[in-house]
Structure 1
Amino acid sequence: MDEGGLLGGKFLFKKLPDGLLDKTRVRCTICKAEFKYHRSSSSLAYHLRAKHPTESTSTGPRQSTLQEYGACGRITKNVREKVTNSLVVWIAKNCRPVSIVEDDGLREVIRAASGDECYNLPSRGTIVSRLHTLYGDQRAQQSSKLVQVRNDKVTTLGTDSARNMVAAARLLPFEHMPCMAHILQRTVTVSLNDSAFERALAKCRKIVGHFKHSPANAQELKAQQAAHGHQTEPLVQDVPTRWNSTLEMIKRIQRNKFGLTTILTQQNSKVTMLTDQELDRLQKLEELLEPCRYVTELLGGERYVSCSMVLPALCHLFRIMEPSDDDPVYVLRFKKIFTTDLAQRRDSSNLTWLKIATALDPRFKDLKCLSKDERREVWASVHDLLMSETDAHQPSAQTTEEPSPKKSKMSICLLGSPDSDKEEEEDAIDCCLNLYKAEPKIDIGECPLQWWLKREGAHARLAPIARKYLSTPATTVPCERLFSLSGHIIQKKRASLSSDNVNRIVCLSNWLSAKKD
Structure 2
Amino acid sequence: MDEGGLLGGKFLFKKLPDGLLDKTRVRCTICNAEFKYHRSSSSLAYHLRAKHPTESTSTGPRQSTLQEYGACGRITKNVREKVTNSLVVWIAKNCRPVSIVEDDGLREVIRAASGDECYNLPSRGTIVSRLHTLYGDQRAQQSSKLVQVRNDKVTTLGTDSARNMVAAARLLPFEHMPCMAHILQRTVTVSLNDSAFERALAKCRKIVGHFKHSPANAQELKAQQAAHGHQTEPLVQDVPTRWNSTLEMIKRIQRNKFGLTTILTQQNSKVTMLTDQELDRLQKLEELLEPCRYVTELLGGERYVSCSMVLPALCHLFRIMEPSDDDPVYVLRFKKIFTTDLAQRRDSSNLTWLKIATALDPRFKDLKCLSKDERREVWASVHDLLMSETDAHQPSAQTTEEPSPKKSKMSICLLGSPDSDTEEEEDAIDCCLNLYKAEPKIDIGECPLQWWLKREGAHARLAPIARKYLSTPATTVPCERLFSLSGHIIQKKRASLSSDNVNRIVCLSNWLSAKKD
Task: Give the TM-score of the pair, scaled to structure 1.
Answer: 0.88
Q: Are residues 410 and 206 of structure 1, via their aligned partners in 2, closer, same or farther at CA, if it must alter by over 3 Å? A: same
5+ residue gaps, structure 2, are none
2:30 and 2:378 mapped to 1: Cα distance?
Answer: 105
Larger radius of gyration: 1
Q: Are residues 8 and 382 of structure 1, via their aligned partners in 2, closer, same or farther at CA, if it must alter by over 3 Å? A: closer
1:404 to partner: Cα distance: 5.0
Residues 199-218 of structure 1, C-alpha deviations (whole Å, 9 max, x = no match): 00000000111111111111
Q: Are residues 510 and 7 of structure 1, via their aligned partners in 2, closer, same or farther at CA, if it must alter by over 3 Å? A: closer
1:18 and 1:296 mapped to 2: Cα distance?
Answer: 97
User: Is the 8 Å Cα contact of residues 300 and 306 (structure 1) preserved in structure 2?
Assistant: no
**1:324-403 paired onto structure 2 within 5 Å:** 324-400=324-400
1:71 to partner: Cα distance: 3.8
Question: Structure 1 residues 203-212 or 15-24, which shifts more?
Answer: 15-24
1:410 to partner: Cα distance: 6.5
- Report the 3-state secondary structure (helix = DSSP H, G, I; strand = E; otherwise coil) of the residue aligned with 1:26: strand
User: Is the 8 Å Cα contact of residues 305 and 470 (structure 1) preserved in structure 2?
Assistant: no
Task: Give the TM-score of the pair, scaled to structure 2.
Answer: 0.88
Q: Are residues 42 and 327 of structure 1, via their aligned partners in 2, closer, same or farther at CA, if it must alter by over 3 Å? A: same
Match of 2:111 in 1: 111
2:420 and 2:78 mapped to 1: Cα distance?
Answer: 73
- Report the 3-state secondary structure (helix = DSSP H, G, I; strand = E; otherwise coil) of the residue aligned with 1:158: strand
Percentage of matched positions with identical amino acids:
100
Q: Are residues 27 and 278 of structure 1, via their aligned partners in 2, closer, same or farther at CA, if it must alter by over 3 Å? A: closer
1:31 and 1:313 mapped to 2: Cα distance?
Answer: 76
1:363 and 1:51 mapped to 2: Cα distance?
Answer: 66
1:493 to partner: Cα distance: 1.2
2:71 and 2:195 mapped to 1: Cα distance?
Answer: 75
- Report the 3-state secondary structure (helix = DSSP H, G, I; strand = E; otherwise coil) of the residue aligned with 1:13: strand
Q: Are residues 22 and 422 of structure 1, via their aligned partners in 2, closer, same or farther at CA, if it must alter by over 3 Å? A: closer
**1:236-385 paired onto structure 2 within 5 Å:** 236-385=236-385
Q: Are residues 21 and 330 of structure 1, via their aligned partners in 2, closer, same or farther at CA, if it must alter by over 3 Å? A: same
Q: Are residues 73 and 162 of structure 1, via their aligned partners in 2, closer, same or farther at CA, if it must alter by over 3 Å? A: same
- Report the 3-state secondary structure (helix = DSSP H, G, I; strand = E; otherwise coil) of the residue aligned with 2:443: coil
1:486 to partner: Cα distance: 0.8
Residues 372-420 of structure 1, C-alpha deviations (whole Å, 9 max, x = no match): 0000000000000000000011111121165556666666556543311
1:78 and 1:30 mapped to 2: Cα distance?
Answer: 33
1:51 and 1:458 mapped to 2: Cα distance?
Answer: 63
Question: Structure 1 residues 497-506 or 44-53, which shifts more?
Answer: 44-53
Question: Structure 1 residues 201-210 or 6-15, which shifts more?
Answer: 6-15
Q: Are residues 393 and 8 of structure 1, via their aligned partners in 2, closer, same or farther at CA, if it must alter by over 3 Å? A: closer
1:66 to partner: Cα distance: 3.6
Q: Are residues 19 and 493 of structure 1, via their aligned partners in 2, closer, same or farther at CA, if it must alter by over 3 Å? A: farther
Q: Are residues 265 and 419 of structure 1, via their aligned partners in 2, closer, same or farther at CA, if it must alter by over 3 Å? A: same
Question: Structure 1 residues 45-54 or 419-428, which shifts more?
Answer: 45-54
Q: Are residues 377 and 321 of structure 1, via their aligned partners in 2, closer, same or farther at CA, if it must alter by over 3 Å? A: same
Residues 432-466 of structure 1, C-alpha deviations (whole Å, 9 max, x = no match): 00000000011111111110000000000000100
1:362 and 1:430 mapped to 2: Cα distance?
Answer: 18
2:264 and 2:18 mapped to 1: Cα distance?
Answer: 100
Match of 1:218 in 2: 218
Q: Are residues 357 and 27 of structure 1, via their aligned partners in 2, closer, same or farther at CA, if it must alter by over 3 Å? A: closer
2:397 and 2:22 mapped to 1: Cα distance?
Answer: 120
Question: Structure 1 residues 400-409 or 63-72, which shifts more?
Answer: 400-409
User: Is the 8 Å Cα contact of residues 302 and 478 (structure 1) preserved in structure 2?
Assistant: yes
User: Is the 8 Å Cα contact of residues 238 and 249 (structure 1) preserved in structure 2?
Assistant: yes
- Report the 3-state secondary structure (helix = DSSP H, G, I; strand = E; otherwise coil) of the residue aligned with 1:17: coil
User: Is the 8 Å Cα contact of residues 357 and 469 (structure 1) preserved in structure 2?
Assistant: yes
1:175 and 1:26 mapped to 2: Cα distance?
Answer: 88
User: Is the 8 Å Cα contact of residues 304 and 473 (structure 2) preserved in structure 1?
Assistant: no
Q: Are residues 353 and 38 of structure 1, via their aligned partners in 2, closer, same or farther at CA, if it must alter by over 3 Å? A: closer
Residues 324-367 of structure 1, C-alpha deviations (whole Å, 9 max, x = no match): 11111110110011011111111111111110011001111000
2:48 and 2:465 mapped to 1: Cα distance?
Answer: 88
Residues 180-208 of structure 1, C-alpha deviations (whole Å, 9 max, x = no match): 11111111111101111000000000011
Residues 19-44 of structure 1, C-alpha deviations (whole Å, 9 max, x = no match): 99999999999999999999999999
Q: Are residues 79 and 24 of structure 1, via their aligned partners in 2, closer, same or farther at CA, if it must alter by over 3 Å? A: closer
Residues 38-95 of structure 1, C-alpha deviations (whole Å, 9 max, x = no match): 9999999999999999999999986532431354311111111111111111110111
Residues 226-250 of structure 1, C-alpha deviations (whole Å, 9 max, x = no match): 1111111111100011110000100
1:30 and 1:362 mapped to 2: Cα distance?
Answer: 69
1:492 to partner: Cα distance: 1.6
1:306 to partner: Cα distance: 3.0
Residues 252-271 of structure 1, C-alpha deviations (whole Å, 9 max, x = no match): 11111111111111111111
2:50 and 2:413 mapped to 1: Cα distance?
Answer: 114
Are 2:94 and 1:94 aligned? Answer: yes
1:54 and 1:432 mapped to 2: Cα distance?
Answer: 71
**1:115-514 paired onto structure 2 within 5 Å:** 115-400=115-400, 415-514=415-514
Question: Structure 1 residues 237-246 or 408-417, which shifts more?
Answer: 408-417
Question: Structure 1 residues 436-445 or 68-77, which shifts more?
Answer: 68-77
User: Is the 8 Å Cα contact of residues 305 and 448 (structure 1) preserved in structure 2?
Assistant: no
Q: Are residues 26 and 351 of structure 1, via their aligned partners in 2, closer, same or farther at CA, if it must alter by over 3 Å? A: closer
1:303 to partner: Cα distance: 1.9
2:333 and 2:353 mapped to 1: Cα distance?
Answer: 32
Question: Structure 1 residues 394-403 or 10-19, which shifts more?
Answer: 10-19
- Report the 3-state secondary structure (helix = DSSP H, G, I; strand = E; otherwise coil) of the residue aligned with 2:419: helix
Q: Are residues 401 and 17 of structure 1, via their aligned partners in 2, closer, same or farther at CA, if it must alter by over 3 Å? A: closer
Aligned length: 517
Cα RMSD after superposing both structures: 7.7
User: Is the 8 Å Cα contact of residues 99 and 124 (structure 2) preserved in structure 1?
Assistant: yes
1:19 and 1:313 mapped to 2: Cα distance?
Answer: 97
- Report the 3-state secondary structure (helix = DSSP H, G, I; strand = E; otherwise coil) of the residue aligned with 1:496: coil
Q: Are residues 278 and 69 of structure 1, via their aligned partners in 2, closer, same or farther at CA, if it must alter by over 3 Å? A: same
User: Is the 8 Å Cα contact of residues 204 and 250 (structure 2) preserved in structure 1?
Assistant: yes
5+ residue gaps, structure 1, are none
Q: Are residues 93 and 57 of structure 1, via their aligned partners in 2, closer, same or farther at CA, if it must alter by over 3 Å? A: closer
User: Is the 8 Å Cα contact of residues 74 and 118 (structure 1) preserved in structure 2?
Assistant: yes
